[in-house]
Every structure is written in C-alpha cells, then in structure tokens.
Amino acid sequence: MIKEPYLVICISTNHMLRAVGLIEKHYPHQLVPVPAEYGYICNTAIRVNGADVAAIKDMLAAKRVAVEGYYRENRRPLQGLLARLESLTLSGNILSIMQKIEKGMDLQKAELVTLLAATGQDMEAVFITADMMRKELISDVVDIRAAVEFSNYCKKNCTYCGLRRDNKTLVRYRMTPEEIIDIAKEMKAMGHHTIILQSGEDPWYTTEKMLEIIRGIKRETNMRITLSIGEWSRDEYKLFREAGANNYLLKIETSNPQRFAEIHPDDEYKTRLEHTKWLKELGYITGSGNMIGLPKQTVEDIADDIILMKDSGTHMIGLGPFLPAENTPLAQEKPGDYDLSLKTIAVARIYLKNVFIPSTTALATLVPEGLQRGLEVGANTIMYNLTPSQHRGNYVIYSDKAVIDLEKTVAAVRAAGRRVPSSLRI
C-alpha cells in the first residue's frame, strides 16, 4: 500500500528505468502512467510513499538519475458528488463508498466488488459517478480512432475467438503492405492522428514486412501508430518501436491465471505479463483490457482485472462483453451481461482516473445503443473500423459483430451530448 503518494517523473525512459532499478531495492513503489497534465516526457511515473521521498531524492541524485520532478499525486476529489446523487435512494455500502470517492480517497478491492455488484439506483449512482469523474478529468471531446484489420489469419487457437486456427469455415484474407499504407494515407486525409493496425497472429507478416509497414506509414503520413498484433519477441517489439510504433495493445483478457489458461491453449499468463512489462520498458504507451462474462468468471475476477490495469500502469483499457463466436469451443456459452459490462467501464473510470477507455464494438454488438451508453458511463474514446469493405465481413472475432463506421461513431458521440475532435473532417 502506498500512502500519501508522490510521483517521481524522470526526464526520459532510460532514466526512469534506472530509477526503478534503484528504488525497487529499498522502497515500495508502483509504475503508473504519467497523468496527461505533465505531458509526455517519459510515459511512466514511479509512485512512492510520501515518507520515502526525501531519501529517494538523495539516492537518485547521488546516482545521477535525471528526475524531472517529485509531485504530490493529485487526490481527485469529486466535489458535489453526494449532492448530485441526493435524489437517489442508496444502500449504506454504496453511500459510504461515494463519500470516499467525493473526498478523493483510494478504493479497496472489496469496494470495487460492491460497485460492480450494484443494482437499481445503486447502479445508477455508479454510472453518474463515473461520468462525473470522466468530465472532471477529461474534456467532452471523444477521441475517435480508426483501425485497419489487415489480416484475419491466426496461428493461435484461443477458445473464444472466431479467428482461431481451427475455424476452417472462416474466409481468410491478408492485405499487402502497400494496401495498408494506402489506408493510412486515407486516414491521414480524414484528419486522424493515429492508426491502429490490428490482426491475428499471422506469420506471413515477418519482422521485415512489419517494419516495412511501420516505416512506410511513418514516411507517408507521420501518424502515430498503434500495434494490436499479438505476441512477438522482445527484440521485435524493440525494432517496431525504433521504426516508429508508439502504442501497443496486448490484452490480458482476464487476470485470473486459471481462467487465462483455460481459454488460451497457446499462451502463458506469465508470458503475457512479461510482454506487457517489456512493452513499457521499450517506451510504448500500452493498452490492455478484459472480456466480461467469460465462463466461470466472477465479479472478484473483474475487480482484479481493473486493479491489474492500475498496477501495470496501462493507459488504454479495452473492456467489453464476451460474445460467443460460432465454430469455436465457446459457441454455446452465454454472452456477457450488458449492465455488468457498463459497470466495469464505470468502475474502471472511477478507479483508474485519467486513462483511455473505449466504448467498444462488442458493447455495440450486444446492445445497439451500447456505443452511446458506454460514453455516458465513463468511456472517452471510440475505435471504429476502416478495413476495406470486401474484407470487413470476414474479421469475425465473434458472431454478428456490429459494423462501426465513422457515421455510427459520430452519431453515438452526438447522442451522448459529447463532441467530435475538431481535426476530423466529417
């Protein structure tokens, strides 16, 4: 437990890593995203106990680690929360948690579980609180990002996913580097600043091919690049980073190692965590997230998922319902619960504060107004799809996947009473 938290922010990732090496020998600490108001000097900050700051300062100065500053971490009081909730009849548990949130106090796991289990007016209060937190920390502008799903081949066999290698019914496709770079140019012309490259784990894309794609996009558009292409080696992550990739999405899906093993025949929980750590070390802004409603998953598991996001300093948190996919081992399972999916977004916002949380395609697939509703309960970004139309219908990670295009995205943003980025030409 970190008390009276301070953030140590270094002038570069290199210095941050040296600082971590020194601090971890003697002091409790956590790695957290640098809050947006500090800019991006190094994207990871080290959270330490206030009582240790003086000693840490001396230690880092002696070892010539360049620290940008030591900042008392903002407690984020939510003034006016209780007044805002006054018209609701709340249970005692929820009310006392709301009092803590109003004062800006940290919540414990049991409290996250209570929030996730809330029903009726209690649940309404969770949604209102999350929306207030989002408004307090982030503007009303919804970040709209576009993805290209460039290959639906996958060498892995995750039991929940329609792209798994044993799904022989799927029509497979892959796009050439030139085709991908052309889409990037189109995105740039539309006013996007970031491109998300997403695919199954497709060995056709060798390290060289990926580098060609990343370098080509940088050269032609200078956009920021988000990779969502599964697990690679540390050296490859490094090469991609050096070639210009900025962000990396690698979801943990569930923080329960047993559940993780059950649904990932080709993957190891420990390895996934290790990769997440490498990505941060290499200076990526990282993304993770979970699926809600996996077989045997509990609300405690979901609270752990959210806590893991904080402890691993993840910036982008994709939370969406599990949806059964035809021709997979989980085809007959129930989809994740809609209210629980919304509460997960809300609790993530309340607990994780200033992070990117998308309102997901999965939520929109479960319930048509899901996209808008997600924005109303804590989400601040939407990722839509610019995969060429002849391929789009084949990227079926789950059945009846909603098609989220720019038009639907903008409609959801406006229906939620929010704004689209002014750079977008629509």
Which residues here bind ligand 5AD, judged by CB under 6 A? 160-161, 251, 253, 291, 320, 322-323, 325, 362, 397-398
Phi, then psi, of 48 in degrees rounded to 5: -130, 170
Contact between 227 and ligand SF4 by CB under 6 A: the answer reads no
Q: According to CB under 6 A, which one of 35, 216, 230, 293 is a site residue for ligand SF4?
A: 230
Strand, helix or coil at 4?
coil
Stretch that binds ligand SF4, among 12-20, 124-132, 159-167, 367-375 (CB under 6 A): 159-167
- What, of ligand SF4, ligand 5AD, none, does residue 323 touch, CB below 5 to 8 Å by kind? ligand 5AD
Q: Where are the alpha helices (DSSP H) in 63-91?
A: 81-84
Residues 74-113 that bind ligand SF4 (CB under 6 A): none
Task: Name the phi and psi angles at 208, rounded to 5.
Answer: -60, -45
| Residue 362 binding result from ligand SF4, ligand 5AD, none, given CB thresholds of 5 to 8 Å by partner type | ligand 5AD
Instruction: State the burial class of residue 307 (Cβ atoms within 10 Å of its Cβ: 0-12, 13-18, 19+).
Output: middle
| Residues 6+ away with beta carbon under 8 Å from 403 | 385, 392
Picked from ligand SF4, ligand 5AD, none, the partner binding residue 251 (CB below 5 to 8 A depending on kind) is ligand 5AD
Which residue, 200 or 318, is less far from ligand SF4 as judged by CB?
A: 200
Query: Rounded distance, CA 351 to CA 100, Å?
Result: 12
For residue 231, the minimal CB distance to ligand SF4 (Å) is 8
Cβ nearer to ligand SF4, comparing 43 with 290:
290
Q: Which of 20, 142, 163, 214 binds ligand SF4 (CB under 6 A)?
A: 163
Of residues 131, 275, 249, the one with CA closest to residue 194:
249
Question: At 157, is the secondary structure helix, strand, or coil?
Answer: coil
Q: Count of H helices and E strands in the chain?
A: 17, 11
Q: Which helix (H) or strand (E) holds 39?
A: none
* 343 Cβ contact partners less than 8 Å away, ≥ 6 residues apart: 115, 116, 118, 123, 126, 127, 377
- Choose the stretch contacting ligand SF4; rule: CB under 6 A; options: 160-168, 185-193, 302-310, 378-386: 160-168
Taking the complex as a whole, the smallest distance from the CB of residue 160 to ligand SF4 amounts, in Å, to 7
Q: Does 161 bind ligand SF4 (CB under 6 A)?
A: yes
Contact characters 299-338, ligand SF4, x per CB under 6 A: ----------------------------------------
The listed partner (ligand 5AD, ligand SF4, none) that binds 320, CB under 5 to 8 Å by sort, is: ligand 5AD
User: Is the CB of 77 or the CB of 265 nearer to ligand SF4?
Assistant: 265
Least distance to ligand SF4 from the beta carbon of 368, Å?
Answer: 24
194-199 and 224-228 strand pairing = parallel
Would you count residue 378 as binding ligand SF4 (CB under 6 A)? no
At closest approach, how far in Å is the CB of 158 from ligand 5AD? 7
Place of tokens 């639906």: 152
The bridge status of strand 67-72 relative to strand 5-10 is: antiparallel
Q: Do the strands 247-249 and 224-228 form a parallel or antiparallel pair, or are they unpaired? A: parallel
Count of all residues that appear for the chain in the document: 426
State the minimum distance, in angstroms, from the CB of residue 398 to ligand 5AD.
4
- CA separation, residue 411 to residues 31, 166, 284, 414, 420 (Å): 37, 37, 31, 5, 10
Minimum Å gap between C-beta 351 and ligand SF4 is 26
Q: Is residue 396 involved in binding ligand SF4 (CB under 6 A)?
A: no
Among 102, 201, 212, 376, binds ligand SF4 (CB under 6 A): 201
Where does this chain bind ligand SF4 (CB under 6 A)?
154, 156, 158, 161, 163-164, 200-201, 230, 397
